[in-house]
Structure 1
């Protein structure tokens, strides 16, 4: 019996302004994540309690981007940590 393996390569090309924007988004997401963790994680919490606190924060502070879903215009950020933590979608 033989196995077939498929390997793909995907390359994205960005302009300088796009790279700057993405770098700024990463910094913003990292800072927001740190702020959230400082707010919701308390000393003495178990790993499970920490996971639950993160889960609950996301559930309570994000909404499904239903309007854009209906219009079939969901923006890129709705699929990213930026969308969840910064935009709330």
Structure 2
């Protein structure tokens, strides 16, 4: 019989809505919240850091990045530009 690994309890506080949303997400993936947290911890240890790149992008910066991904529109005259603006 193999000895089980020592286990410990972790307590965290989070917003109720965030917990409910996370539980629904993980349930759709077939795992519970505890399993998801353990996966996060194990991957963090394996990677030697967070298993994702944290970002802090403001809504304005996000809008600029989205606009930069759009295909540019080239116009040949002011009248053509006015027509495009009027139809937006």
Q: Whose helix fraction is larger, Structure 1's or Structure 2's?
A: 1
> Does TM-score exceed 0.5, indicating one fold?
no
TM-score by length of 1: 0.27
Larger Rg: 2
